[in-house]
């Protein structure tokens, strides 16, 4: 399958560009129930996990010194660096309990620090946090794992990169968004190209094996020509992966976005033009379209996994680690263990109180039933590989595919008529015109979405 075959059909994109889930999980977080008992969630997690399978670990560090107006992450804006240590001490207490529940000396193949700004904490605190993780979990020491961290180039130095490499990180992801000074001023993230390039060059010199850059289209004052300059600059920086996110302006949900004047946002047509140009530019530069908003070089592990048919998707996005349970710690962190998803308390005060009293901070979650597992498998296969073998699903789950998914296939018939999907007795294949609309196609298999509902809870697909 050649994922560089993308057909841009503006009429179809406009017709199907609704709101919908990103499917970093199925069921999605909308289905998480605060009334489910944490004890029951943990018990089901422990009884349904594979005790010999590897682990993926996630730590959420919520602190940022400056607010980026577009940001929809769970964050705490503060200049007070002294707030970090009490929070980390709480994470260590939670970590000890999670290790007791789930470690079993299972090998940690994937590890990620996200935020917020993980590099908000000091170098000594970085060493301490990784040391605690090594104490409680079986981290690899041969540099063979995927150990990554999100970095704000304004909050890192060459020395920071040395420290991160020394404690075991081998992948980094940098936020860049846009190089245009007017755009940067409008979103309160002024960051020079030189700052970003310095960190990338330092990471290469230290032997980091994968470098990712994040861009956002749809920000204030962006234009087709201006974003093209950003793309040209980024291609010169030569990252291994690129994430190009759609800015969703939801000021009623995210307070910081109230600082953005909606009148300065590019029009829907301009946004689509920027996206089309971005896809064409990156494909011409040799990147592979992984899916949704992700691109990678052909020799990157994501691209290889997709070609070989074992790409996966979870709360950390596209990943090569389908066999891992995801054990997450910190405020608002989401775990995926066995047949359970659960999320921690969203506020630091509530998180801290919960860990002090209960040794965990579980706020809400969901237990997957047989139908959830089946639909998750179908959606994951489509969103990662753009095709599905019905017979394989039938063998795996003991169903008759066409009979089980009568309603979904009926809905897909319209997509077939519009040239987005090809259906046969044995396969579902997403066409080049359908790949940009994969979220909408996957929604056909989502049992939790009323088909007539306007999904304002989710961002737009394009």
Q: For residue range 26-85, what is the model confidence (pLDDT) as tens digits?
A: 999 999 999 999 999 999 999 999 999 999 999 999 999 999 999 988 899 999 999 999
Q: 93-140, pLDDT tens digit by residue?
A: 999 999 999 999 999 999 999 999 999 999 999 999 999 999 999 999
Q: State the Cα–Cα distance between residues 157 and 274, nearest whole angstrom.
A: 32
Beta bridge partners of 113: 59, 149
Q: State the Cα–Cα distance between residues 320 and 310, nearest whole angstrom.
A: 7
Specify the CATH class of 31-329 in words. alpha beta
Closest CA to 183 of 247, 226, 242, 237: 226
Residue 10: predicted pLDDT:
83
- DSSP 8-state code for residue 120: G
Q: Where are the domains of the chain?
A: 1-27+369-462, 31-329
pLDDT over 80 at 371, yes or no:
yes
Q: 254-267, pLDDT tens digit by residue?
A: 999 999 999 999 99
Place of tokens 């968004």: 177
CATH label, 1-27+369-462, candidates 3.40.190.10, 3.10.129.10, 3.40.50.12280, 1.10.10.920: 1.10.10.920
Helix intervals (H) in 253-369: 268-284, 301-308, 348-358
Q: Regarding predicted confidence, which is higher, 16 or 439?
A: 439
Residue 450: predicted pLDDT:
74
Average pLDDT over residues 172-185: 96
Q: State the Cα–Cα distance between residues 395 and 390, nearest whole angstrom.
A: 9
Q: Identify the three-state secondary structure at position 200.
A: helix
Residue 453 CB-density burial (10 A; 0-12 exposed, 13-18 middle, 19+ buried)? exposed
The answer to whether 94 and 329 are in contact (CB under 8 A) is: yes
Express as a percent the part of the chain with pLDDT over 70: 97
1: pLDDT confidence band, cut at 50, 70 and 90? very low
Q: State the Cα–Cα distance between residues 180 and 37, nearest whole angstrom.
A: 48
Q: Regarding predicted confidence, which is higher, 232 or 14?
A: 232
3: pLDDT confidence band, cut at 50, 70 and 90? very low
Average pLDDT over residues 432-456: 81
pLDDT over 90 at 184, yes or no:
yes
322: pLDDT confidence band, cut at 50, 70 and 90? confident
- DSSP 8-state code for residue 445: G
Does the pTM exceed 0.85? yes
Q: State the Cα–Cα distance between residues 214 and 220, nearest whole angstrom.
A: 17
17: pLDDT confidence band, cut at 50, 70 and 90? confident
Closest CA to 462 of 64, 4, 15: 15
Residue 18: predicted pLDDT:
72
Residue 138: predicted pLDDT:
98
């Amino acid at each position: 399958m050649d994922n560089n075959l993308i057909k841009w059909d503006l009429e179809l994109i406009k017709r199907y560009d609704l709101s919908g889930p990103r499917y970093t999980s199925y069921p999605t977080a909308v289905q998480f129930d605060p009334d489910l008992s944490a004890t029951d969630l943990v018990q089901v997690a422990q009884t349904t996990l594979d005790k010999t399978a590897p682990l993926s670990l996630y730590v959420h560090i919520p602190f940022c010194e400056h607010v980026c107006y577009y940001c929809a992450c769970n964050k705490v804006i503060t200049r007070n660096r002294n707030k970090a240590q009490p929070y980390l001490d709480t994470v260590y207490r939670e970590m000890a309990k999670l290790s007791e529940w789930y470690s079993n000396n299972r090998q940690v193949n994937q590890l990620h620090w996200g935020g917020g700004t993980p590099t908000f904490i000091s170098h000594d605190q970085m060493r301490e946090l990784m040391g605690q993780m090594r104490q409680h979990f079986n981290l690899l020491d041969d540099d063979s794992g995927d150990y990554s961290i999100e970095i704000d180039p304004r909050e890192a130095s060459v020395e920071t990169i040395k420290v991160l490499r020394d404690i075991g990180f081998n992948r980094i992801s940098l936020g860049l968004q846009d190089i245009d000074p007017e755009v940067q001023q409008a979103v309160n993230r002024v960051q020079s190209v030189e700052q970003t390039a310095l960190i990338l060059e330092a990471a290469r010199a230290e032997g980091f094996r994968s470098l990712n850059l994040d861009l956002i289209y749809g920000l204030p004052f962006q234009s087709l020509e201006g974003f093209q300059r950003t793309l040209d600059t980024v291609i010169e920086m030569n990252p291994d992966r690129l994430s190009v996110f759609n800015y969703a302006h939801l000021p009623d949900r995210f307070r910081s976005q109230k600082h953005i004047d909606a009148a300065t946002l590019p029009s829907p047509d301009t946004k689509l033009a920027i996206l089309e140009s971005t896809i064409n530019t990156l494909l011409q530069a040799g990147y592979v379209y992984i899916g949704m908003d992700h691109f990678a070089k052909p020799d990157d592990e994501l691209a290889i996994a997709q070609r070989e048919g074992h790409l996966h998707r979870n709360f950390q996005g596209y990943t090569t680690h389908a066999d891992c349970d995801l054990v997450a710690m910190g405020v608002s962190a989401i775990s995926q263990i066995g047949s359970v998803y659960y999320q921690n308390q969203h506020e630091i005060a509530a998180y801290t109180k919960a860990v002090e009293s209960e040794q965990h901070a579980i706020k809400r979650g969901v237990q997957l039933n047989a139908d959830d597992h089946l639909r998750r498998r179908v959606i994951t296969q489509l969103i990662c590989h753009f095709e599905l073998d019905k017979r394989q699903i039938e063998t795996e789950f003991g169903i008759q595919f066409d009979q089980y998914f009568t309603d979904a296939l009926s809905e897909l018939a319209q997509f077939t008529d519009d040239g987005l999907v090809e259906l046969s007795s044995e396969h579902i294949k997403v066409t080049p015109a359908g790949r940009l609309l994969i979220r909408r196609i996957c929604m056909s298999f989502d049992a939790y979405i009323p088909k007539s509902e306007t999904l304002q809870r989710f961002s737009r697909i394009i």
